[in-house]
Structure 1
Amino acid sequence: MTSLTATVCLALALVCIHSAGLASAAKPAKPAPIPPPTYLYVWAGATDPSKAKDSLFVVKVADGTIVNTVETSFNGLEPHHCRVSVDKRWLGCGGLLAVLSGLPSVHFFSLADPALPVYVPDVPQPQHGAIADEFLTTPEGGFATTMMGSETGGSPGRVVLYDKDLKLVGEYPEDVSGDKATGLNPHGIAIDWKRDTAVTVDYMEPASTLVGNTLAVRTTVRLWDTRTWTIKETVDVGKTGGAGILDVQQVGSTPGYFFTTHTGQMYYLDSRGPAPHVPVLVYNITEPGTSPLSEQIHSFRNGKRLFLGNYLESKVLLFDTSTPLRPRLLDTLQLAKGSGAHMVMLAPDGRTGVVATYFLDEGAAGQIHLAGDSTVHVFKIDGGAKRFLTKNRGAYTLDFKTLFPAKGAFRPHGVAFL
C-alpha cells in the first residue's frame, strides 16, 4: 500500500468514526428506569374508638412490613383519599365525614423523614366546604382538593387550593349566586395545568346519604378555567344513563379525559374547542350478570393504560387506552368475592400497583354500607403493562381487620406511594 493510499484510508476511517459519533450524540439517551417505591402510606379509620385513633400507616413496599404507625388525635374522620405533593414534602389526606363530629376535614403530614411522617397541626380549614374527597398536587408543591359538600354537607361544594406551605389560597368558585353552582358536589378532579383547564365530576349531595333523606345522585361534569377558578361549562350525562360520577382522569398529557359513573359507564371527553362539549360513552361494564359501583380509575402517565376498580365485582380492570375512543380490556385482577375493589393506584415505576377494598360505611346514621373486607392488596404488572402478575414476589395482601389485635380493626381507604 502506498503512503498516499494509506493516508486516504486513514482519513476515511476518521470520517466514519466522526459520523458514528455524531449519530450517537444525536440519538436521545434512554431514560433510566424509575426504581420501585419504598413506602406505601395507608390512611385508615379505627373501628373501635376505645382502642385506637384514626391513623396513617407506613408500609415497606418490598415486603409489606408496617414500619410505622402515626396516630392522629381524632376518631370519626372517616379517612378518605390522600396524595404526596410533587416535591415530596407533604402528604395530604381527607376526612370525609369529619364535619359530622365537628372535626377538621383536611389533614397534612410532613414527609421530611418519609419513614416517620409527622402530623401537621392547626392547618387552616375551608370555611365554605366540607366532605374532603380527592387530593391533586399543584406544580408548586401544594394541593387542589375537592370538598364534595358545603360546610354543612349540603350543596354547593368547592375546590380548595393550598400552597406549598399549606396556606389556604382560596375556595372556588367564589361566586355561587343564582344557579352558577347548583348541584356542585365535586368528587373527582383532573387538572391540565398547561392548558389552564380542570374537570370536576359531581357524585352526590353528601347530606342526602343520611338516614331519612332521598339520595341526590348527580349527573354533571364541570369544565373550569384554572386562571380564575371559575366554571365555564356544565355538562349533563344523565340522558345517556350516567349517574353518580365518581372519578375523572386526564389521558396522559392530552386535552382528553376519562370519567366513570356509579352506574358502570366510562366516558371520554375532549376539552378542546368551544362549548358545548359532548362526552362519548366508550365502555360500559354493566354486562349481563355483572354489577358495577365505585368506578375509581387511574390513568397511567403515558395515557396508554388505565386501571378501573369495580367494587361489587371485586375486580381491577386493566385497559389499553392507546385509542381513547376504543378502550380495550387487557386483563382482570380478581379479588376474593365480596371483598370489594375501590381505590386503585400505580406507582411511578409503572410496575407496582395497589388496591384498597374499603369504600364507606356510615353506620347507623347513614344509608351507605360498603365496608368491603378492609384489605389492601399490593400487586405487580408486567413490563409491557399487559397483564397482572398475581404470583410475583412483590404481591401480597394486608388485612387491616387483624393486623393490630390490640387496637382492633381499621378501615383502610387512602393509599399513596413514595
Structure 2
Amino acid sequence: MHGLLGFALLGAFVSHLASATPTIGGGSSKRNPLGLSLPNSLIPLIPGVTEPLTENAIPLPILQLPTPPLASPPFTASNIKPKKIGYFWTGAGDNKHKDFLATVSLDDGTFGTFIELTDVPTSGNSPHHLGPSYDGKTLIGGGLLSLLKTQDTAFYFDVSNPYRPKFDHSNRGILSSIVDEIRAKPDGGFYITYMGSAVGTSPGRLVETDAKGNIIHEWPALTDIESTLNILGEQFSPHGLTVDYDKQIALTSDFVVPLSILKPTLGIQKANTLRLFDLRTHKILSTITIPNGQGIQDVKFIPGNKETAALATAVGLGQVWIIYPFRKDTRTGKQGTAELLFDFGPKAKNSVAIYSDISDDGKLAYFTFTLGNHVAALDISDLNNVKRLDDPNETQPIIGPHYVKISPDKKNLLVLGYFVQAGDISVLNTPADYKAHWLDIKPDGSIAFNRTIDFEREFTTTRGGARPHSVVIYDLTDPASPKYY
C-alpha cells in the first residue's frame, strides 16, 4: 500500500507540474500570477482502490493523506421555493465524504426542509466562513483545514438560481492559507482574511479577488517594505475583517497562529492586535493593541457611527472593545485607538471564540461564547450607556455557539452550535450540538430560543454527521429586491 501511495502521489504531482497553468476566468490562457488551483486530490480516484485508503487513513501529524473523498450518498432535492433561505457551509462529519453547501428553508411552514445539497470536490476541509457577493449571485466559502490535505482553500458557488446552487470553482493563495472572514467589493470580487501563511504560520494576508473569484492580490504586497516589516515584526493572523468603502479603510483582527492549534504544540499563539488598512494603497496605517486580549477574533464597524467606530471581541478577556480608527493615540501619535466597551463576565472568559453581529441600524449587537454555551445581546444605541439585554445566568439550550447572523428582516437570529473540531491532530476540539438555532428577536432587541435544525441527525447515516459552521440568509419576499446577508 505504501508503494501504491508513493506512486500515486508522485504521478499526480508530476502530472500537475507538467500541465497546470493558473488562469483567469476559467478559460483564458492569460496567466494569473496569484490565482492557483491544484488537482482536487493528489491521490487520483481509483475505484475499488482509493476508497479503502480513504476510509482507513490514520491521523498523521499535521499533513494528512491527500485522498479523494468518498462518493456522495443519494439526495432527493425538494421542489419547494421558500421566501427565506439559509445557505449552510457544512463539513461531512466523518471528514471522508465531500463537504457541501446545504440549501434549507427558513419559512415558517417548511422550516428546516433541506432543498438542495451542493458538493465540493474534496473532503476534510473543515468548512469555515461563508459570504455573498455584492450582487448576491455568488457565495464563497473557506476551508479552515484544506491546507492539511494540500487542497484548494476557497470554494465558489453560483446561486443565480437560489434553489439550485452550483459549485463553480476553487482556488488557493500562494502566500497565504486558512480562509476566514469574507467581505464583498461593490465593483465585484471580495476581500478575504487568510489567517495563516502558505504553511499555516504567521504572517497571513488580506486577500483580494476580482469579480470572477480569481485572486489578484495578497496584501500587504512584498514590495511594501514598511507593511511587510509590520506583519513580520508582530504576529499577523487576521481573522476578523470589516470594510468601510466610503472612508476607504479596513480593519483586520489578529486571532491565533493556525499551526499552533495542531499537535505537537507549545500552546496556542494568541494575538492582541488589529491592523488598520488604507484601501487606496492597501498599506497598513497602524497596529492597534488590546492589552492582553488573547485572541481578537472578530471586528465589525458599527453602521451609521459618526466616528466609524468598530466593535472587536477580545476572547481571552471575555470583553468587547470599541475601536476608533480616526482618533490618534496620545501616547504614540499613531492612528487608531481601543477602549473597553463591555465586560461579559465569567461565561465569556477564556471562551476560545467570541463572534458577533450588529444590526444594520447600529443599535443592537449579539455575541456568542463558544465554551460558555451562551448568546448575549447588547443595546449599543448609546455607547456611553450600553445595556445588556440577555440574562447572563440563564442556561440556554445550546452547545458550542459560534457563527451568528441577524436575518435580513431583523426578526430572527440564526446561531450555529459548532466552532472547530480538528480531531486527534489538534488541541482544539470544542463541544457542539451541530444545530442551527433560530431565535426570535423581541421588540426590545432581547432574544428567545425558538426552533432548531439538527444537522447531526439529518446526516448521521449518510455522511457520518454534519458540521455546519456558517450561514448566509437570503430573503426573497420581494423578488425584485432580494435581501441577503
Q: TM range, normalised to the smaller chain?
A: 0.7 to 0.9
CA distance, structure 2, for counterparts of residue 205 and residue 155 of structure 1: 6
Contact 2:402 2:417 in 1 (8 A): yes
User: Of residues 195, 210, 213 in structure 1, which corresponds to 2:265?
Assistant: 213
Say if 2:279 is the partner of 1:229: no
Contact 1:268 1:324 in 2 (8 A): no
User: Of residues 157, 164, 172 in structure 1, which corresponds to 2:204?
Assistant: 157
2:53 alignment counterpart: none
State the TM-score, normalized to the length of structure 1: 0.85
2:302 alignment counterpart: 251
- Aligned-pair identity in percent equals 28
Letter in 2 for 1:252: P
CA distance, structure 2, for counterparts of residue 300 and residue 370 of structure 1: 28
1:129 alignment counterpart: 176
Contact 1:282 1:326 in 2 (8 A): no
Bigger Cα displacement from structure 2, 285-294 vs 187-196 = 285-294
1:180 alignment counterpart: 230
2:85 alignment counterpart: 39
Aligned ranges 1:188-199 → 2 under 5 Å: 188-199=240-251
CA distance, structure 1, for counterparts of residue 216 and residue 349 of structure 2: 44
1:53 alignment counterpart: 98
1:336 alignment counterpart: 397
Residues 268/289 of structure 1: CA separation in 2 closer, same or farther (3 Å cut)? closer
Once the two structures are TM-superposed, the CA of residue 385 in structure 1 deviates from its matched residue by 4.5
User: Of residues 406, 409, 416 in structure 1, which corresponds to 2:465?
Assistant: 409
Task: Tell me the C-alpha RMSD between the 2 structures.
Answer: 1.9
CA displacement 1:205-247 (0-9 Å, x = unmatched): 1111111222211111111101111111001222xx3111100
1:400 alignment counterpart: 455
CA distance, structure 2, for counterparts of residue 417 and residue 349 of structure 1: 10
User: Of residues 309, 312, 321 in structure 2, which corresponds to 1:267?
Assistant: 321
1:78 alignment counterpart: 126
SS in 2 for 1:364: helix
CA distance, structure 2, for counterparts of residue 310 and residue 346 of structure 1: 16
Residues 165/304 of structure 1: CA separation in 2 closer, same or farther (3 Å cut)? same
CA distance, structure 1, for counterparts of residue 335 and residue 462 of structure 2: 56
Say if 2:435 is the partner of 1:375: yes
Structure 2 residue runs of 5 or longer lacking an equivalent are 1-81, 329-333, 475-485
Letter in 1 for 2:192: T
Contact 1:316 1:334 in 2 (8 A): no
CA distance, structure 2, for counterparts of residue 290 and residue 98 of structure 1: 30
2:36 alignment counterpart: none
Structure 1 residue runs of 5 or longer lacking an equivalent are 1-35
1:358 alignment counterpart: 418
1:87 alignment counterpart: 135
CA displacement 1:128-150 (0-9 Å, x = unmatched): 11000111111123211100000
Which of the two has greater strand per residue?
Answer: 1
CA distance, structure 1, for counterparts of residue 165 and residue 466 of structure 2: 19
2:354 alignment counterpart: 295
SS in 2 for 1:412: strand
Residues 325/131 of structure 1: CA separation in 2 closer, same or farther (3 Å cut)? farther
Aligned ranges 1:103-142 → 2 under 5 Å: 103-121=151-169, 123-142=170-189
Ranked by relative contact order (alpha carbons within 8 Å, sequence separation 6 or more), the top structure is: 1
Contact 2:285 2:335 in 1 (8 A): no
CA displacement 1:14-43 (0-9 Å, x = unmatched): xxxxxxxxxxxxxxxxxxxxxx96110111
CA distance, structure 2, for counterparts of residue 336 and residue 70 of structure 1: 30
CA distance, structure 2, for counterparts of residue 283 and residue 100 of structure 1: 37
Once the two structures are TM-superposed, the CA of residue 169 in structure 1 deviates from its matched residue by 2.3
Once the two structures are TM-superposed, the CA of residue 49 in structure 1 deviates from its matched residue by 4.3
SS in 1 for 2:464: coil
For this pair of structures, how many residues does the alignment match?
A: 373
CA distance, structure 2, for counterparts of residue 412 and residue 251 of structure 1: 27
SS in 2 for 1:208: helix
SS in 2 for 1:361: coil
Letter in 2 for 1:244: G
State the TM-score, normalized to the length of structure 2: 0.73
SS in 1 for 2:264: coil
Say if 2:121 is the partner of 1:102: no
SS in 2 for 1:413: strand
SS in 1 for 2:336: coil
Contact 2:195 2:238 in 1 (8 A): yes
